[in-house]
Amino acid sequence: MITRHVPPRRWFLAVACAAVGALHALAPASAASVPTIDQAAAKKLQDVLNDARRTTGTPGLSAAVMVDGRLVWEGQSGYADSDLRQPVVAGTLYSLASVTKMFVSTMVLRLYEKGEIGLDDPIKAYVPSYIPSTDKVTIRELLGHTSGYDDVEGYPEIIRWLNDPNFHWTRDIVLRRVKPVHFKPGSKFEYSNTNYVMLGAVLERASGVTVDGLFNQLIADPLNLESELDFARLAGYAPRIAHGYDVENSKLVDTFIGAHDLGVPTGDWGPVWTDGGIVASGAGVARFTDALYGGRILRPATLAQMLRPGPDGSYGLGTLRLRFNGHTWQGHDGFYSGFTTETFYDFSRRLTITVLTNRTDNNDPAAAIWNHLASAVDALR
């Protein structure tokens, strides 16, 4: 079992670019820089996708490319279930792992815009009283991983339970294991899933609505993505979810084996996991990414706050910045128990590239495939 995390090797230290990203959010894309995806180009991208899947040993994957609100290409390759030889299709769903954090941060920021929370409010008023140090930590510090809380998902007890695909999880079970902060909140960056599990409690207390209900109100329904995303663990979505595969002792193991509740491990999907529990299609994630960074969800000033890097110089509020092939990208990635995910947006070209895979290993397949696909898109003119 692998703890949710963001592979730090891809982070780009970009303090100097903080303000630039916010300005680009409202700038039109250069016509010359927008790739043209005709039939020949689509075949090239599909060939790249197929080759990258084989090279990385990934059972299955979905990818999508958007430009300024338009889905210009999507592709799939391989199998959602290798044993049954069930192919990946456009509607296949994947556990998003930590890409979920980008959605959850957006939900928190929407409540901030509505005046229901303050980003610099201490979390004490929003989370259970048994959690320590809540008078010292703000909502902003949870969002930016500067709270000082350890990652509870690295504790042996939690890991043992995560290895049980049928464990009955509640947010309370997770949060009762939280320890006092171990550094001064706000003083440094330290990635911790605990922060985002706590934000589930913040969202529900501030809004009076369940996490999954709020997700539908603020994201899925307004963007018409109800069929492409789920946070509620609804039975109708389960047959569409790809099986996850993890490399254990040099063998590829189906992480869904033994899962009886809808056939999907309880640690992979559902509103307890506001750090990683959304399932979605490749096109659904791309559409959300495009809408968020394209300025169609948050106000410009709020988006600027989201993008502004914290102490590490890269991570903002549920979003990170990286540099690849001479371009600056904003988004998030994820890595958890059979699923690796990448979705990033280039403000200068209003370009989104999303890759979702159903394999985890030490080489991070989604990152490698995203790199290949981004390079192929760059080569299109």
The three-class DSSP label of residue 37 is: coil
For residue 378, what are the CA distances in angstroms to 34, 65, 328, 353, 373? 9, 12, 13, 11, 9
pLDDT at site 36: 75
Q: Which run of H or of E encompasses 204? A: helix 193-207
Segments forming the whole domain that contains residue 53: 8-378
If 0-12 CB within 10 Å is exposed, 13-18 middle and 19+ buried, where does residue 336 land? Answer: buried
Looking at the structure of the chain, the number of domains it has is 1
Q: How far apart are CA 63 and CA 37, in angstroms?
A: 14
Closest-CA residue to 45 (of 85, 78, 72): 72
Q: Is residue 1 situated within a structural domain?
A: no
Alpha carbon 232 to its chain's center: 16
Copy the structure tokens of residue 295.
């300025």
Q: Is residue 219 situated within a structural domain?
A: yes
Q: Which residues contact 149 (CB under 8 A, 6 or more apart)?
A: 133, 137, 178, 179, 181, 182, 192, 194, 195, 198
Tell me if the pTM is above 0.75. Answer: yes
Own/partner contacts of 47-55, CB < 8 Å, gap of 24 or more, are 48/372, 48/373, 48/376, 49/75, 49/76, 49/77, 49/369, 49/373, 50/77, 51/372, 52/368, 52/369, 52/372, 52/373, 53/77, 53/78, 53/357, 53/369, 55/368
Q: Is residue 2 situated within a structural domain?
A: no
Q: How far apart are CA 88 and CA 74, in angstroms?
A: 12
44: domain CATH number? 3.40.710.10
Q: Is residue 182 situated within a structural domain?
A: yes
Cα angle 153, 253, 159 (rounded to 5 degrees) comes to: 15
Q: Which residues contact 42 (CB under 8 A, 6 or more apart)?
A: 73, 75
Q: Is residue 329 situated within a structural domain?
A: yes
Beta bridge partners of 76: 62
Tell me whether strands 351-357 and 60-67 are parallel, antiparallel or unpaired. antiparallel
Q: How far apart are CA 33 and CA 37, in angstroms?
A: 12
Q: Which residue has the tokens 């609804």?
A: 234
The set of catalytic residues is 98
For residue 320, what are the CA distances in angstroms to 99, 306, 314? 11, 9, 5
| Contact yes or no for 6/336 (Cβ under 8 A) | no
pLDDT by residue for the chain (381 residues), tens digit each? 444 454 443 444 333 343 333 434 344 555 446 667 899 999 999 999 999 999 999 999 999 999 999 999 999 999 999 999 999 999 999 999 999 999 999 999 999 999 999 999 999 999 999 999 999 999 999 999 999 999 999 999 999 999 999 999 999 999 999 999 999 999 999 999 999 999 999 999 999 999 999 999 999 999 999 999 999 999 999 999 999 999 999 999 999 999 999 999 999 999 999 999 999 999 999 999 999 999 999 999 999 999 999 999 999 999 999 999 999 999 999 999 999 999 999 999 999 999 999 999 999 999 999 999 999 999 997
pLDDT at site 29: 52
pLDDT at site 2: 45
